[in-house]
Amino acid sequence: MAEFFLELFSEEIPARMQAQAAAELQRRVSASLAVLEPTEVRSWYGARRIAIAATIASKSSPVHEELRGPRVGSPAAALDGFLRKYSASRDDVTEENGFYILRRRIEAESATDVITMMLVGPLSSMTWPKSMRWGQSGAFTWVRPLRRIVCLLDGAVVPIALGPVIASDLSEGHRFLAPGSFKVVDAAQWQAELLRRRVIADATVRRAMIADGLQREAQALGLSIVKDDGLLDEVTGLVEYPVPLIGHIEQRFMALPPEVRELSMKVNQRYFSTS
């Protein structure tokens, strides 16, 4: 068994799209690598990356496949097309129950070959609520410009390409607090190195850090946080290394109705209200 790790690193992904994208990435990778029997699949998402890791077989198992072709007596072009599709000859098929039947053995393939052949198409066609065309040809679309791809099999680079970006073993931490690239060895080291570079990879952990920090800051002043799970989810997707801070509004603005203040804080600043 081997560890497969994939990170797609881009410009900022809108917060509302991240969880859905990570779930779709997990579905597409699991389906594409099904012949390698992926287990222990886990995914991550954040402001600038979606990633997935899984344990997979080092090679696929040989498969005996039976394919039903056109009916016996169909136009010759139908049988010719069927044979071309599967790179077979007339001698490879038999006639059974009124149909042409092709039986073939698909030999085992290395995990590297399976990843290279099966993964690029599903990744290229990932769906986003909104996406951008970019690169010199303008043919590749992604939610925001894709900057790096990390694609590893037991630490070795699998050089897949999406648009103009070719996979490597380099990723990045926080844009401002820890600029620059670092080498990725495996999923565990990736998470640890991101933490050292001020990025919390796990969205659940980031969310808890924000909620706990808000509560702590508010309680220190005898206040409580106005509950807003939607805003909490959005801010979790906006920040990579949350540090809750508390401020105040000038007294002259406090005459505004609470609903007006809170709506402006939420929509325009993504601030949390206290009571």
Q: Percent of the chain beyond pLDDT 70?
A: 99
Tell me the pLDDT band of 185, cut-offs 50, 70 and 90. very high
Tell which wins on pLDDT, 227 or 62. 227
The closest alpha carbon to 220, from 257, 274, 159, belongs to: 274
pLDDT at residue 193 above 90?
yes
Tell me the pLDDT band of 138, cut-offs 50, 70 and 90. low
Tell which wins on pLDDT, 92 or 65. 92
pLDDT at residue 134 above 80?
no
User: Domains of the chain, with CATH numbers?
Assistant: 2-59+110-196 (3.30.70), 63-106 (no CATH), 203-269 (no CATH)
Tell which wins on pLDDT, 37 or 260. 37
Average pLDDT over residues 189-210: 97
Tell me the pLDDT band of 137, cut-offs 50, 70 and 90. low
Average pLDDT over residues 263-273: 88
The closest alpha carbon to 51, from 258, 255, 202, 225, belongs to: 202
Look at residue 45 in the predicted model and tell me its pLDDT: 98
Q: Running DSSP on this structure, what letter comes out for residue 35?
A: G
Look at residue 133 in the predicted model and tell me its pLDDT: 81
Tell which wins on pLDDT, 207 or 139. 207
Average pLDDT over residues 4-13: 97
Tell which wins on pLDDT, 249 or 58. 58
What global pTM score does this model have?
0.83
Look at residue 254 in the predicted model and tell me its pLDDT: 83
Tell me what the pLDDT averaged over the chain comes to: 92
Q: For residues 8 and 184, is the Cβ–Cβ distance under 8 A?
A: no
Residues 68-82 pLDDT 10s: 999 998 898 999 898
Residues 15-48 pLDDT 10s: 999 999 999 999 999 999 999 999 999 999 999 9
Q: For residues 116 and 160, is the Cβ–Cβ distance under 8 A?
A: yes
Tell which wins on pLDDT, 138 or 120. 120
State in Å, rounded, how far the first CA of the chain is from the last one: 54
Tell which wins on pLDDT, 124 or 108. 124
Please name the residue that has the structure tokens 């169909």.
74
Look at residue 136 in the predicted model and tell me its pLDDT: 64
Measured in degrees and rounded to the nearest 5, phi and psi for residue 66 equal -120, 120
Q: Crossing angle, helix 229-238 and helix 203-220, to 10 degrees?
A: 120
